[in-house]
Structure 1
Amino acid sequence: MSQLPVIVGMGGVNAAGRTSGHQAFRRTVLSALDADTQASTLTGLAAMMRLVNTDGSSPWQDTSGQSLDAEQIVARYQQQVLDHTLIRRIEDPMFGADGIPANRPAQLSIEAPLVFHVRRRQLPEQLPETWQVRELDRRHVEVTVPPGQFDVSLPERRGAQVRTAGQLPSGFEPSSLYRSVHHPRGLSMAIFGASDCLGQSGLDWETLRDRLDPDEIAVYAGNSIGQLDDAGWGGLLKSYASGNRATSKQMPLGYGQMPADFLNAYVLGSVGATGAVQGACATFLYNLRVGIEEIKSGRRRVVMVGTADAPITPEIIEGFRTMGALADDDSLKALDALSLLTDADYQRACRPFARNCGFTIAEASQFVLLMDDGLALETGAQILGSVPGVFTNADGWKRSISAPGIGNYITLGKAVSLARDILGEESLRTRTFLHAHGTSTPKNRTTESHVFHQVATANGITSWPVVAVKAFVGHSQGSAAGDQLVSALGSFAHGWLPGIPTLDVVADDVHAERLQFFAEPLAFEADAAFINAKGFGGNNATGLVLSPSVTERLLVQRHGQAAIDAWKDRREPILEASRNYEAGADRGHFQALYRFGQGVLEGPELSVEADQIGIPGYAQPVSLAVENPFGSLGDAHRDSDHTNDEQ
């Protein structure tokens, strides 16, 4: 019997807040929540943003030390929290009025000798033949350039043409939570996301690891375009042009698989399977697919899956802008018929399935911890849902590498077929919803809605609810489907689907006949969600996620009611540990796990045998037994040789 991959932990961060405790989800349905839940959401975000603090036992305090209660926090900081979460104007100063630092090549015509003084170390390594250099002192020289043509780069400030993004909540800096030394932002976010996932799970990682063969654990994590800020490949690639030295960390830390490497080396200490699958905007689902297939086959029992993307840099934004993919300021103003002297409505920049002009870039880190259902029952792990299938297909022949194609019809069709087999026709038609890729580009609103319409028609679905969470948090590239997945888990827990608040009117070219769009949160008890992703290059993926209640019904069918009752008893301390973690996080106490230099092994310490390898610090050895599905030639080959000798 195939193992059922269940979700036993989730963690991360995006523009809406922290993933654990469904904080980010609650921010997207804030208006639908009761007063107490609204207040706890706002105070938790205020603590995350360092507007208030507490040592855990004393009352809340503002930054001046004044004591506050929850009601006072909400009254004082609510608007600040609302204004500095979700999509908003980019808060990095280089995107402001002074502009982005740049250089412009120029050729000067010098009519008379040009004389200047400069530090010796700032001279080019190879001086032009016509330059005359005179020493002034040990550190300075005088340079004379004769009349003629002189090539220079003139420093300038270029006004940002895109000023909106889905940034992490203001004041939250993941690198400040552990000993980060020149780590790219995406890797700091990965450390936080994985730590948040483990904390939310309520499981003790060391205890869990000790009961398993180390090779029964796997990590599949990455991102869509690597680490391209200055601490990663971004700084490396522009080091010559910028005049800065490349560092020894920029090259290795820039790789796209580095989130998985960081988790293995500094968070989990895992020696099991590892990898990162890049699939553009579908990257999270591509890695999730590998993880669940490993569990379904029985090769792994625990898998951490995730992504961390930090693409809010001038260069990446400019790349997407020149493609015509991003919603730039001028296009947003034209869309709303605003004067060029008026600021665009930055918080409404992303408008899935409405009249729109491009996507809004964002940063996010999302991780889930998967187990096979048998181990989850044995350990008493909480079960947030299950993922029976993720499907990926390419587009075939394409006119443009970035244009959408036909693969998404196949992926969604397969996911719906699996859901129908598990849930039945009635549940499929009335108790499932779509988490759309919903990028807010004119092409996406037409093509993705047509995919939904065709699959709905084929399956007799007449009013399929559509969620497009990018309207709140923007497009976090490879982490986008992770944002969608954890939002779906929030819907299962709270019974609300986030609306599309920027959807004033559905665009005329959207195929909406069988789809249900809504601007405000919708009360909806769901059995399953479809997580849809359409990536550049033809990277299509759709995942089927089952609710906790449906998952429990499957577990009763697979293991019997007695096993489920016993699991619920074992689950109580896990739930208590999870609640304690979330309570601390709501007060701004985060446990970023980062174990640099601990338990390092290099080989001589191992106990190597023919059938297993013992590793100091790991309770169970690694089994070297592998399945051989091809048959053995060893004995037959020896017997054949012996027979030939006798003849």
Structure 2
Amino acid sequence: MSSLPVIVGFGGFNAAGRSSGHHAYRRMVIESLPDEQRRETLAGLAVMMGLVSYLEGAYRDEDDRPYSLEEIERQFGPAILEGTLIRRIDPAFFDVDAAYWQKSANLNGSGEALSFELSQRELPEPVPSDWQVTELDERRVRVTLTGSVNVKWESYRELPVKSAGQLPQGFDPGSLYNSRFHPRALQLTVIGASDAVQSMGLPWKKVADAVRPDQIAVYASNVMSQMDDDGFGGLLQSRLKGGRVSTKQCPLGLNSMPADFVNAYIIGSVGHTGAIAGACASFLYNLSAAVDDIDSGRCRVAVVGNAEAPITQEIIDGYATMGALAAEDKLKKIDGSDTTDPRRTSRPFGENCGFTIAEASTYVVLMDDALALELGADIHGAVNDVFINADGFKKSISAPGPGNYITMAKAVASARAILGDEAIRKRSMIQAHGSSTPQNRVTESEIFDKVARVFGIENWPVSAVKAFVGHSLSSASGEQLIASLGVFKYGWIPGIKTIDRVAEDVLGERLTLPLQDLDRRDNPIDVAFLNSKGFGGNNATASLLSPRVAEQMLRRRYGEEAFADYVQRREAVREKAAEYDQGAVKGDFDTLYHFGQGMIDESLIELDEHSVKLPGFEQSIDLDLPNRFADMSGK
């Protein structure tokens, strides 16, 4: 009997704000929210952005003036909306109009000697043989040469790409804990994974004590590693800039660190760990590993996620040179205008010219269904399955291919096997990859249309969250998942609000591509298909079941009496989750970061032929393992 992997916690941070409590989702559909929910969402963002703080029972500005929710909306609402989602790249990253670079030049004396002065410390090693060096004093020398010399000038250039999906303006992820020397992606890891764990409403120790230590797993990674100054970026640049490499840049730059930091500093796990990278489908690759291990019983709790911080000049330069990013001049051409709106650079399934890069972290906590019922964990949804298929032989490594036909068809077929035809045809939706490239809008819509025809789907709702938050690479499909949890709870499918109309080459006869939020409260969505396509032929599609469907399945498995007992236990868990959420809204994130705390004294480990007992863990690790090859080994 398979275990059902249920989602009991979720969190992270992106351009729409904090993911837990559905706050980032609510920012996406803020126009459709009731007044109270809209104002609560704006207040939480106002605190994140440093516009107000919460002290002594009231929201206050820097002059200690108290604000009601209505006053926050009235005074700060426009700034909050402008300072979230995709927007012009903040100068805190770099100046898009004057990005620093070095321009090479060759100085030649045209037959006459060249002479210049510099510090002795600035002499190259070794000194070129055609240089004549004369000491001027203890520190200065004069160099004379008759040939030529290569130099590099400090220069500045305007970047063609000027927008990105950035964390809310004014929010500093490193300020939530002692983040010294941590690359930005690892700062996002810590605060995002902590947010997910605390969103459960269950103390982590209670979860850990309920299972064996090796039944907890963490699957997390990123695509671009850590490419800012505190990671690989600084490692590669330091010597070329005349600086020194630090002891932390190399290890902290590894793309396995989003998993390692969760283990080492947030939950203290000694269980299975994995860092799977599959380009832009990486979150679903990690989710697939977790689902497989829960289904097989190898683990009972899994933390799954990704954290990406690619808003650097070098990464943007790389993708822009490929023609993959939405450049300002191309957008102007599409719009037939001398200006363009930096907030509308990501245009899934509309007239577009490239994707918009973004930073984000996304983490979810999964449990097997039996453990969730035992602990009273709140179930926000369940993962039916994740399918991953490659493209076969390719000409262009970045071009889409046939593998996505396989993943989409299998995901729909798998969900149909559980829910039946009517649910698939009437109560399912797609969270599209929707990268906002001309090639994607055509090929992905063709796949959806063909699958819809095969399964008898006539009006398939399609959402594309990259229109709001951009493309966060490894974290992107995690953002699709969390947005789907919001759809399950609130009933609004986020519309593609950055386009005026669907492009003519999009095959949308059987698709519903809403330009405004689509109200499904009277006909709730039962299953969401998360579709992801990555460079190299990394295709993945997951089917995500709503909590309503998951609860129906659990009632059938455990019976009404056992489920009623679970519902009673769940109330206290929901209360604790709400306490965390309200604290975070007011700026008290209470970020989990256990640096050097609770370390295991290896001298106290108890080991015998049947078990391993670790100090600090309630249960021991079982060594009485079965012979999986009994039919072959003769024992």
Please state which band the TM-score falls in when normalised by the shorter chain: over 0.9
Choose 234-243 or 89-98, whichever is displaced more.
Answer: 89-98
Local SS of the residue matching 1:590: coil
Deviation at 1:627, TM superposition (A): 3.3
Contact 1:95 1:160 in 2 (8 A): no
Q: Which residue matches 1:317?
A: 316
Alpha carbons of structure 1 residues 97 and 635: separation in structure 2 relative to 1, 3 Å: closer
Matched, 1:469 2:465: yes
Local SS of the residue matching 1:377: helix
Alignment partners' CA distance in 2, 1:324 and 1:456:
31
Matched, 1:518 2:550: no
Cα shift readout 1:316-366 (whole Å, capped 9, x = no counterpart): 111111111100111111111122xx4x21101111111110000001100
Q: Which residue matches 2:404?
A: 408
Q: Which residue matches 1:122?
A: 122
Contact 1:306 1:368 in 2 (8 A): yes
Q: Which amino acid is the alignment partner of residue 564 of structure 1?
A: F
Alpha carbons of structure 1 residues 410 and 634: separation in structure 2 relative to 1, 3 Å: closer
**What are the residue-to-residue correspondences of 1:191-590 with 2, within 5 Å?**
191-339=190-338, 342=339, 344-524=340-520, 525-590=524-589
Q: Which runs of 5+ in 2 are unaligned?
A: none
Q: Which amino acid is the alignment partner of residue 168 of structure 1?
A: L
Alignment partners' CA distance in 1, 2:388 and 2:292:
13
Alignment partners' CA distance in 2, 1:391 and 1:355:
30
Contact 2:403 2:537 in 1 (8 A): yes
Contact 1:221 1:305 in 2 (8 A): yes
Contact 1:110 1:148 in 2 (8 A): yes
Alignment partners' CA distance in 1, 2:327 and 2:104:
26
Contact 1:110 1:150 in 2 (8 A): no
Deviation at 1:425, TM superposition (A): 0.9
Choose 617-626 or 72-81, whichever is displaced more.
Answer: 617-626
Deviation at 1:602, TM superposition (A): 6.3
Alpha carbons of structure 1 residues 435 and 154: separation in structure 2 relative to 1, 3 Å: same
**What are the residue-to-residue correspondences of 1:558-637 with 2, within 5 Å?**
558-601=557-600, 603-631=602-630
Q: Which amino acid is the alignment partner of residue 48 of structure 2?
A: M
Q: Which amino acid is the alignment partner of residue 122 of structure 1?
A: E
Q: Which amino acid is the alignment partner of residue 546 of structure 1?
A: L
Alpha carbons of structure 1 residues 64 and 142: separation in structure 2 relative to 1, 3 Å: farther
Contact 2:15 2:167 in 1 (8 A): yes
Contact 2:93 2:312 in 1 (8 A): no
Q: Which runs of 5+ in 1 are unaligned?
A: 637-647
Alignment partners' CA distance in 2, 1:616 and 1:549:
40
Alpha carbons of structure 1 residues 635 and 529: separation in structure 2 relative to 1, 3 Å: closer
Alpha carbons of structure 1 residues 635 and 409: separation in structure 2 relative to 1, 3 Å: closer
Matched, 1:37 2:26: no
Alignment partners' CA distance in 1, 2:153 and 2:369:
62
Alpha carbons of structure 1 residues 192 and 155: separation in structure 2 relative to 1, 3 Å: same
Local SS of the residue matching 1:54: strand
Alignment partners' CA distance in 1, 2:633 and 2:302:
35
Alpha carbons of structure 1 residues 328 and 20: separation in structure 2 relative to 1, 3 Å: same
Matched, 1:156 2:155: yes
Alpha carbons of structure 1 residues 398 and 53: separation in structure 2 relative to 1, 3 Å: same
Alpha carbons of structure 1 residues 128 and 265: separation in structure 2 relative to 1, 3 Å: same
Contact 2:284 2:541 in 1 (8 A): yes
Alignment partners' CA distance in 1, 2:425 and 2:527:
11
Q: Which residue matches 1:639?
A: none
Deviation at 1:71, TM superposition (A): 1.4
Deviation at 1:429, TM superposition (A): 0.3
Deviation at 1:150, TM superposition (A): 0.9
Deviation at 1:468, TM superposition (A): 0.5
Deviation at 1:121, TM superposition (A): 2.9
Alignment partners' CA distance in 1, 2:501 and 2:632:
68
Deviation at 1:135, TM superposition (A): 4.2
Local SS of the residue matching 1:240: coil
Alignment partners' CA distance in 2, 1:301 and 1:264:
16
Alignment partners' CA distance in 2, 1:591 and 1:150:
56
Q: Which residue matches 2:180?
A: 181
RMSD: 1.5
Alignment partners' CA distance in 1, 2:135 and 2:214:
65
Alignment partners' CA distance in 1, 2:426 and 2:348:
23
Q: Which amino acid is the alignment partner of residue 314 of structure 1?
A: Q
- TM-score, normalization by structure 1: 0.95
**What are the residue-to-residue correspondences of 1:132-143 with 2, within 5 Å?**
132-138=132-138, 140-143=139-142
Local SS of the residue matching 2:604: coil
Alignment partners' CA distance in 2, 1:578 and 1:396:
45
Cα shift readout 1:571-592 (whole Å, capped 9, x = no counterpart): 1111000000000111111121
Alignment partners' CA distance in 1, 2:566 and 2:93:
53
Local SS of the residue matching 2:281: helix
Alpha carbons of structure 1 residues 312 and 97: separation in structure 2 relative to 1, 3 Å: closer
Deviation at 1:559, TM superposition (A): 0.9
Alignment partners' CA distance in 1, 2:319 and 2:95:
19
Alignment partners' CA distance in 2, 1:575 and 1:634:
50
Cα shift readout 1:192-232 (whole Å, capped 9, x = no counterpart): 11110011110100121122110000000011121111111
Alignment partners' CA distance in 2, 1:396 and 1:635:
40
Local SS of the residue matching 1:143: strand
